[in-house]
Structure 1
Amino acid sequence: MIRRLPLVLSVFMLAVSAQEATPKPTGEKLAPYYPTPDSVVERMLKFGGLKRGEKIFDLGSGDGRVVIMAAQQFKAEATGIELDQDLYKQSTDRIKSLGLEKHAHIINGDITQQDFSSANLLTVYLLPNSNEKIRPMLEKQLKKGTRIVAHDFMFKGWTADKEEHIPDDGEGRSHTLYLYIR
């Protein structure tokens, strides 16, 4: 056992230095983490008309619940973008444990540095000033017909094609969904 100690220590030190060398994504946090109830996630995906095989991006994916439900229930190609390293790891681990790696992915990165041009649907639960910040980027990138479902906060300067109010179902607050079609 004592002979193995240097080897064990060497392996441990390599693991620590590799972890320290992994660059953490930089960028501005566009919203606090506030999990969307599963019932609202399902309504968002239905409201956005998500179909089997479509590409969906969840901007600020948190614990990955939108991505996971999109892949599991709707059989979509789902990608989340999450800046927070812990939430990224949590959601990636959950995707692996559910065996969804083929259809569900999380990018540990900055929303403003991504390409959403292949999207059929975007889901967004960001603050109003954050929606305003990403709006010009989305206007440049999104193809005609791309659908955007915004949870609770509208995109200033855009007119929603549809709105849906979800009354409080016992969780303590109501929700509003806004559907935009580019």
Structure 2
Amino acid sequence: MKRLLSVLMIGILATVTYGQEIKSDFFDLVPYVTTPKDVVDAIMKLGDVSQNDVVYDLGSGDGRIPIEAARRFGTKGFGIEIDAELVAESKALAKEAGVSHLVSFIQGDLFELELSEATVLVIYLFPDINLKLRPKLQKLSPGTKIITHNYDMGDWKPDQHLEVMGDDGKVHKLFLWVIPETK
């Protein structure tokens, strides 16, 4: 019986340790970095966000972009985040802002997310992840706006590009692509 318990404990510890390594490695690849308020403002303007939009934020962190769009314009919003604590924080901040009926946040894998409802898609991820997302992004409806923060989409030429001085004292690059009509 002791041997069986020992084997089970080793198995459980190995599973927990393995899971922590994956999580740690992922967070090392995609750290949580907040978007300054001035940059959030510029994203809203660049995306010409209105009440008719559905704003998706991939790697939504504390949810500030969907929350701000909902607060300002009554826009529906959605955020996906891998960190459960940030998802909980996003939900609490949405409730505090009085927009929890307009926005939702989930913990999950952004590569598994259905994006078809998005009219404005915001991405603040590293270039290699942006490139891996391109096949999904190509399936978006014509007119959908994709805005990336600091990193472009490789050889995709943006429709607009601007630089914003953030309230953090750093220059932030924003790139906009609009999914074209199919021929």
TM-score normalised by the chain length of structure 1 = 0.80
CA deviation after TM superposition for structure 1 residue 170, in Å:
5.2
1:154 is the counterpart of 2:148: no
CA deviations on 1:125-151 (whole Å, 9 max, x unpaired) are: 0000010111111112x0011001111
Q: 1 CA distance for matches of 2:89 and 2:60? A: 11
In the alignment, what sits opposite 1:171?
Answer: 168
Query: Which blocks of at least 5 consecutive residues in structure 2 are unaligned?
Result: 1-21
Q: Which runs of structure 1 show a deviation greater than 3 angstroms over 4 or more consecutive aligned residues? A: 26-30
In the alignment, what sits opposite 1:136?
Answer: 135
In the alignment, what sits opposite 2:59?
Answer: 60
Q: 1 CA distance for matches of 2:134 and 2:81? A: 18
CA deviation after TM superposition for structure 1 residue 93, in Å:
1.3
1:99 is the counterpart of 2:91: no
Q: 2 CA distance for matches of 1:50 and 1:158? A: 22
The one-letter code sitting in structure 1 at the alignment partner of 2:147 is V
Structure with greater helix percent: 2
Query: Which blocks of at least 5 consecutive residues in structure 1 are unaligned?
Result: 1-25
Q: 1 CA distance for matches of 2:127 and 2:46? A: 20
The one-letter code sitting in structure 1 at the alignment partner of 2:161 is E
SS of the counterpart of 2:50? coil
CA deviation after TM superposition for structure 1 residue 100, in Å:
1.2
CA deviations on 1:37-58 (whole Å, 9 max, x unpaired) are: 0111111011011111311101
Q: Give the CA RMSD over aligned residues.
A: 1.7
Q: 2 CA distance for matches of 1:53 and 1:146? A: 12
TM-score normalised by the chain length of structure 2 = 0.79
Tell me if structure 1 keeps the 8 A contact 2:164–2:172. yes
Q: 1 CA distance for matches of 2:98 and 2:43? A: 23
The share of aligned pairs that are identical, in percent, is: 35
Distance 1:91 1:157, change over 3 A: same
